[in-house]
């Protein structure tokens, strides 16, 4: 039985599965923890190639090879009537919802079966004059050669691309209560020409950005413009995190801190914040960040693992952390990616670190500051990058992060996400 969403119904919640955990099609038990964390770090850098309009990436660059479908969290959805299951990347850095579709004129190899629109009774292509087509202008919408069908095209920084028909289709989410949440007439991209560096393990993307084509924007008033998520730490025994919509997404109670959520009309996909400084112990380091996003200087993104900051700031932060760490033994990253690493024994004492957002001083835990590479190594989960500043998901773990789009606020609440 399907449940339809509206703000008065109390909202709904879904599971997010980390791409490297069991139950994910990307899971590879043969990979070492150190290598998986290294891959996640490189995917973080790869996101910049995709996000920054100023970057031109070389397709032979190993970082660029990871940008086309490099989100970190997956969501189980179904398309069509009857429902056709898809494991999709949930991505706050994308807007359009798309999957590969039959017939494929030029598609990348996909392990899972392709969605066949002809098998769905609820699938409808969208006309060029429709509002749905207009909403996809930022995704390169155009008309088919005969002028009858709206088409989309998305190109990524590594020269991968997807293009196909714009359609209205029933999208069904698996809620945590066990009742499916059916969303009829959701605007999606049905990709018939998709090529580049996409992984065969991937089946699609659910865009959760701020643009008009994203799932969040399409749900609109039915969820009151609210969503939230609570991501478990990488080393947690429980592999699933939680994403909430509507009234389920309200962040309230003791310990809540809020900061302005800043939009940039020229880049509507991204959620910008204003980070004023970061304190390491008593040392406060001013943050300039990226000169984009209007008054915002850093993007908050669930699909980027590390927190990316300018080189000069990273040097100051890394030096401050290293100076104030007591005990422990400094070591090297087995994969050679991270620059500041320690043996996590009982003698290691880390300094307190606070991220000073406008109006919100967010106190970070050791799990937000360091990422566990393996049982014997933890490394600073920040990385130098001068193109774009991104507040990554390690820094967000064990916080309930709430987005209130009508009020233009983002809220942080320290939370044990393994209990959500």
pLDDT tens profile 47-80: 666 665 433 233 333 222 223 344 678 888 999 9
pLDDT digits (tens, 9 = 90+) for 170-198: 999 988 888 889 999 999 999 999 887 77
Peptide bond into 82 cis (omega under 30): yes
Residue with tokens 């990347």: 89
**Phi, psi (5° rounding) for residue 18?**
-65, 140
Q: Is the Cβ–Cβ distance between 180 and 102 less than 8 Å?
A: no
Q: How far is residue 258 from each of residues 205, 273, 298, 385, 413, measured CA to CA in Å? A: 29, 11, 16, 26, 9
**Whole-number Å distance between alpha carbons of 408 and 4:** 26
Per-residue pLDDT, 65 = 26
Q: Is 189 left (phi over 0), alpha (psi -120 to 50) or beta?
A: beta
Q: Does the pLDDT at position 10 exceed 80?
A: no
Kindly state the DSSP code that residue 248 receives in the 8-state scheme.
Answer: G
Strand partners, 91: 207
Higher pLDDT, 238 or 246: 246
Residue 7 pLDDT grade (very low, low, confident, very high; cuts 50, 70, 90): very low
* Alpha-carbon torsion, ordered 404, 405, 408, 414, to 10 deg: 30
Higher pLDDT, 356 or 149: 356
Cβ neighbours of 336 (radius 10 Å): 9
Q: Is the Cβ–Cβ distance between 393 and 303 less than 8 Å?
A: yes
Average pLDDT over residues 106-120: 92
Is residue 167 helix, strand or coil?
A: strand
Residue 158 pLDDT grade (very low, low, confident, very high; cuts 50, 70, 90): low
Q: Does the pLDDT at position 268 exceed 80?
A: yes
- Which residues are CB-contacts of 331 (< 8 A; sequence separation ≥ 6)? 341, 342, 343, 376, 377
State the chain's mean pLDDT as an integer: 85
pLDDT digits (tens, 9 = 90+) for 280-324: 999 999 998 765 656 789 999 988 889 999 999 999 999 999 999
**Whole-number Å distance between alpha carbons of 52 and 42:** 16
**According to DSSP H, which parts of 258-362 are helical?**
311-324
Q: Is the Cβ–Cβ distance between 232 and 238 less than 8 Å?
A: yes
* Alpha-carbon torsion, ordered 213, 218, 221, 223, to 10 deg: -120
> Exposed, middle or buried: residue 114 (CB in 10 Å: 0-12, 13-18, 19+)?
middle
H/E element holding 324? Answer: helix 311-324
Task: Report the DSSP pairing between strands 399-404 and 180-195.
Answer: unpaired
Q: Is the Cβ–Cβ distance between 189 and 139 less than 8 Å?
A: yes
Where would I find the beta strands (DSSP E) of 301-398?
307-309, 329-331, 341-343, 353-357, 360-364, 370-374, 377-380, 382-384, 390-391
H/E element holding 395? Answer: helix 393-396
* Core vs surface per residue 77-98: b (16+ CB within 10 A) or e: bbbbbebbebbbbbbbbbbbbb
> What residues are labeled active site?
91, 301
| Residue 23, CA atoms < 13 Å, CB-side half-sphere | 13
Residue 93 pLDDT grade (very low, low, confident, very high; cuts 50, 70, 90): confident
Per-residue pLDDT, 131 = 82
Residue 336 pLDDT grade (very low, low, confident, very high; cuts 50, 70, 90): confident
Q: Is the Cβ–Cβ distance between 134 and 142 less than 8 Å?
A: no
pLDDT > 70: percent of the chain:
86
| Residue 288, CA atoms < 13 Å, CB-side half-sphere | 10
Q: Does the pLDDT at position 97 exceed 50?
A: yes
Higher pLDDT, 141 or 70: 141
Kindly state the DSSP code that residue 25 receives in the 8-state scheme.
Answer: T
**Whole-number Å distance between alpha carbons of 403 and 251:** 9
Per-residue pLDDT, 311 = 95
Q: Does the pLDDT at position 136 exceed 50?
A: yes
Q: Is the Cβ–Cβ distance between 191 and 107 less than 8 Å?
A: yes
Q: Is the Cβ–Cβ distance between 227 and 139 less than 8 Å?
A: no
């Amino acid at each position: 039985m399907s449940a339809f969403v509206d703000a008065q119904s109390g909202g709904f919640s879904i599971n997010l599965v980390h791409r490297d955990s069991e139950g994910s099609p990307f899971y590879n038990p043969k990979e070492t923890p150190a290598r998986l964390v290294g891959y996640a770090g490189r995917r973080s850098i790869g996101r910049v190639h995709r996000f920054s309009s100023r970057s031109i990436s070389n397709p032979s660059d190993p970082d660029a090879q990871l940008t086309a479908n490099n989100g970190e969290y997956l969501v189980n959805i179904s398309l069509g009537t009857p429902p056709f299951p898809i494991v999709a990347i949930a991505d706050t850095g994308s807007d359009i919802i798309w999957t590969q579709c039959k017939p494929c004129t030029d598609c990348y190899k996909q392990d899972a079966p392709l969605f066949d629109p002809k098998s769905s009774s609820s699938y409808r292509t969208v006309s060029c004059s429709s509002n749905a087509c207009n909403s996809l202008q930022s995704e390169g919408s155009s008309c088919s050669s005969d002028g009858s069908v709206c088409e989309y095209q998305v190109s990524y920084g590594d020269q991968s691309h997807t293009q196909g028909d714009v359609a209205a289709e029933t999208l069904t989410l698996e809620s945590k209560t066990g009742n499916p949440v059916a969303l009829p007439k959701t605007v999606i991209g049905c990709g018939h020409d998709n090529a580049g560096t996409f992984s065969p393990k991937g089946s699609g993307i659910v865009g959760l950005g701020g643009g008009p084509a994203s799932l969040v924007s399409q749900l609109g008033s039915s969820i009151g413009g609210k969503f939230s998520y609570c991501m478990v730490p990488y080393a947690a025994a429980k592999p699933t995190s939680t994403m909430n919509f509507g009234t389920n997404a309200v962040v309230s109670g003791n310990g809540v801190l809020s900061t302005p959520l800043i939009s940039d009309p020229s880049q509507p996909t991204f959620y910008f914040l204003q980070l004023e400084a970061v304190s390491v112990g008593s040392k406060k380091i001013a943050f300039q960040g990226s000169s984009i996003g209007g008054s915002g200087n850093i993007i908050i993104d669930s699909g980027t693992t590390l927190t990316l900051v300018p080189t000069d700031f990273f040097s100051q932060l890394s030096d401050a952390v290293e100076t104030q760490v007591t005990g422990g033994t400094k070591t090297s990253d087995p994969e050679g990616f991270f620059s500041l690493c320690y043996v996590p024994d009982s003698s290691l004492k880390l300094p307190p670190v606070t991220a000073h957002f406008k109006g919100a001083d967010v106190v970070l835990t050791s799990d937000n500051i360091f990422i566990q590479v393996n049982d014997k190594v933890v490394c600073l989960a920040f990385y130098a990058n001068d193109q774009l500043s991104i507040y990554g998901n390690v820094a967000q773990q064990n916080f309930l992060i709430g987005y209130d789009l009508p009020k233009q606020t983002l809220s942080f609440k320290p939370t044990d996400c393994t209990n959500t």
